[in-house]
A and B are shown apart, each in its own frame.
Chain A
Amino acid sequence: MIALIIRRSYQSVVVMLVVALLAFTMFRYVGDPVSMMVGQDTSLEQREAMRVSLGLKDPVPVQFARFVMNTAQGEFGISYQLGRPVAEILSERVPATLELSLVAALFAMLVGIPMGVYTALHPQKWLSKAFLTISLVGISLPTFLIGILLILFFGVLLNWLPTFGRGEVVMLGGWSTGFLSGSGVKSLLMPAFTLGMFQLTLIMRLVRSEMMEVLLTDYIKFARARGLSNKAVNFGHALKNTLVPVITITGLQIGNIVAFATITESVFQWPGVGLMFIQAIGLVDIPIMSAYLVLVALFFVIINLIVDILYHVVDPRLRVDGSGAHG
């Protein structure tokens, strides 16, 4: 297990370096960093001096090494537009996105998995058919449309929920949380539902098809022939085998939730990194864009690592422990 984590960590480092190279290339070669930072009236000498002080005259590998070192320390440079360190802006924005993604992911899993199990166990019941119909809507309607419809109903017509922003946030150390205030929780509902809806339907359909397949296997038939209770067969034997492939897809989907929070954040004006990224693109704020790129890649790498570890916990066939088949 330790060996696996170390091996996977090496791979993660390589992935992160490649992403850093992309981010660096973007930072260094998309436009001229100096002319982005200075005003129209800066003289050529001043520009040249700035170029030297920023190290832009150094050989490219040296610059890349410096970029990697800085990035690793959470130093992403200074936003062109806001004139503040990107790290500072990120630390304000990351909690909003992570809280939104966490709630959306939990919603998708805690609702999607039971719905999938139910539809697999009772394919003929009308409720299963209703779930499947609803899931078609969830899979085919674009996220922004669901978000706008929700705003229309619950925000504008019924006036139950706030239509934008995070509501009141409470600071816990350096982390701003919306979980502790009524308006924070209320503001979270619609964005989390919107963001989780697509993943929910995906997880539900995946669980359903995997479980229906597992229910046809010999070991399920044999478990029934041993007289095990329905509960033990369906949840002890069938569900556990269903979850092996589901873990992989769900893990990747959680990465997607973080990455694609951009759309939901734009619709609900949610002050997270996704909204920040969209605004940065509009303003060609390269440091923020490259920081976002590195950050999302980091989320994916961490989630993949967790998925790999979970996989080994669930499936004994992947654990190489030296005692193969014998006897």
Chain B
Amino acid sequence: MSTSKQQPLLEVRNLRVEFPTRRGSLIAVDGVSMEIAPGEVLGVVGESGAGKSMTGNAVIGLLPSPGRVESGEILLEGERIDNLPYEQMRKIRGKRIGAIFQDPLTSLNPLYTVGEQLVETIQTHLDLSEKGAKDRAVDLLEEVGIPSARERIDHYPHQFSGGMRQRVVIALALCAEPRLIIADEPTTALDVSIQAQIITLIKKLCREHGTAVMLVTHDMGVIAETADRVAVMYAGRIAEIGPVAEVVKNANHPYTHGLMGSIPKVGHEVERLTQIDGSMPRLTEIPTGCAFNPRCTEKGPRCMVERPILEPVENSFVACWKFDPEGTGA
């Protein structure tokens, strides 16, 4: 999809997010580039602290303080949005880019009914009367699968279960029919039995509405089931980005390879799951060269000094010198 000639819906170019601290800047996102086509689901996967959530936050312009976009560009339908003043960016949030957060139990304001929160959001973005907005709110609740929506609309968040609350959050994200939704760990806080329902719902709604999704998660299973393409992040950088089937079945980057090997598979007799030794470096201790080099089993001298760039390998792009004509120098 990304290779087609049509203009991408979202384009992130060389994004660098920094957190200035007293002891120098921490680089949370370092030179990340990705594209999302209209209607496409891009999974962004990585360990905690890999920069995946920060990339999502940067796109909706809500980086936690004191984080800031240091360099790079974010384009929505060809228009730069990373340098917009707050008020203009606010009008894009909710209207053109929706968001779903991790914990549905804390995403809703406990003092307002779900109807009040929906109507408020709808009226912020669409020119509808109170009555029209309420009708739309009921339709949205029905669409996300809340039974007897007309009655439930006057209920408070605490009267809904976790899964139902996440459905309300999804309805809130869809209020103004945004073309892109940033879903940050939408299933992590839910029971396993509910996770599949929510994923199915997000998939179904996005297909029906033609909404593109940036699905941020650490759960490879969710990505494999939902995404069209996947970006694997490591230490603030993209290690590999490509079609989901290829990355899952045929990982190129040594990190992705290890990551896939660590997922247990049903029906396969495996003595031990593979495991990547060590842990992801802290933001203050990212090594020179390839950030993965301390844990890589296939590293060469070049990996220790020169940072790999994303290069095409089959249908994917991989940041590893292994695939460079000049090799790792080993």
Knowing A232-B120, A316-B156, say if A223 contacts B109 (CB, 8 Å): yes
Given the known A-B contacts A228-B120, A325-B160, A327-B146, are A241 and B111 also in contact in the complex, defined by CB atoms under 8 Å?
yes
Decide yes or no whether A324 CB sits under 8 A from chain B.
yes
Which of the segments A214-222, A249-257, A269-277 contacts the partner chain? A214-222
Check if A227 sits within 8 Å of B125, measured CB to CB: yes
- Mostly, the B contact residues are mixed
CB of B136 closer than 8 Å to a CB of A: no
Separation in Å of the B294 CB from the closest CB of chain A? 34
CB nearest neighbor in B for A323: B159
A303-327 vs B: 1/0 string, CB under 8 Å? 0000000000011110000011111
Among the listed B86, B109, B121, which residue makes an inter-chain contact with A219, where contact means beta carbons less than 8 Å apart? B109
Size bracket of the B interface: 35 or more
How many angstroms between the C-alpha atoms of A223 and B112 in the bound complex? 12
Q: Does B175 contact A (CB under 8 A)?
A: yes
Is the CB of B152 closer than 8 A to any CB of chain A? yes
Instruction: Flag whether B91 is at the interface (Cβ < 8 A).
Output: yes
Q: Which listed residue, A218, A227, A327, touches B160 by the CB 8 Å rule?
A: A327
* Residues of chain B from 74 to 125 with CB closer than 8 A to chain A in the complex: 86, 90-95, 98-99, 101, 103, 106-113, 120-121, 124-125
The answer to whether A325 touches B101, judged by C-beta atoms less than 8 angstroms apart, is no
Given contacts A218-B103, A221-B101, A327-B160, is CB(A227)–CB(B95) below 8 Å?
A: yes
Q: A222 is contacted by which of B120, B124, B146, B169 (Cβ under 8 Å)?
A: B169
Q: A residues within 8 A CB of B109?
A: 219, 223, 237, 240-241
Number of interface residues of A (CB under 8 A): 28
Question: Given the complex of chains A and B, what is the CA–CA distance between A120 and B92 in angstroms?
Answer: 26
In the assembled complex, B158 has its CB within 8 A of some CB on chain A: yes
Q: Please state if B156 and A317 are interface contacts (CB–CB under 8 Å).
A: yes
Q: How many Å lie between the Cα of A187 and that of B158 in the bound state? A: 50
Is B289 located at the chain interface by the 8 A CB criterion?
no
Chain B residues with Cβ under 8 A from A325's Cβ? 158-161
Q: How long is the Cα–Cα vector from A219 to B169 in the complex, in angstroms?
A: 10
A260 and B88 alpha carbons, distance in the complex (Å): 51
* Assembled-state Cα–Cα distance A326/B95 (Å): 31
List 4 extra interface pairs beyond A218-B101, A218-B103, A227-B91, CB under 8 A: A227-B93, A228-B94, A236-B120, A325-B161
> What are 5 pairs between A and B in contact, CB < 8 Å?
A226-B175, A227-B95, A241-B110, A326-B159, A326-B161
Residues of B within 8 A of A (CB): 60, 62, 86, 90-95, 98-99, 101, 103, 106-113, 120-121, 124-125, 146-147, 152, 155-156, 158-161, 164, 169, 172-173, 175-176
